[in-house]
Amino acid sequence: MAKLYLDSLTCVTTEDWTDTDEPKIVLEGKGTVWRGKVLDGQTYSVDYACSFTGRIGVILIEVDDPDPDDVLGYKRITDTPGTRTLHFNASGAEYVLTYAVE
């Protein structure tokens, strides 16, 4: 059993043209674990911890209403210990998720 800690989400470039993005982080088997309103160049504390076995999928979604949400990427985190980053690039948006596995 490994422990996952999602530390922070940096929005390098928003997906929406106007003002803020509304990203949410979905973990496979856990559902939505974080959501926020973010601006270009800002870093936001996520501060979420859970246990997992083997690997766990992470999906970053940019919520649009009433339009369909934008899926910015699906990544897998393995149980190899360490502090790392995941880069999400899609639809002109760029996000960096910092996490630790122990």
Ranges assigned E (strand) in 28-80: 31-35, 42-52, 55-62, 70-78
Q: Which range of residues in 1-9, 33-41, 44-52, 54-62 is near Ca ion by CB under 5 A?
A: 54-62
Is 16 an interacting residue with respect to Ca ion (CB under 5 A)?
yes
Two tokens, residue 25:
């982080």
The strand order across the sheet containing 42-52 reads: 42-52, 2-13, 93-101, 82-90
Q: How far is the CB of 64 from Ca ion (least distance, A)?
A: 4
- When asked if residue 28 is in the footprint of Ca ion (CB under 5 A), the reply is no
Q: Which is nearer to Ca ion, 4 or 25 (CB)?
A: 25
**Residues at the interface with Ca ion (CB under 5 A):** 15-16, 22, 62, 64, 70
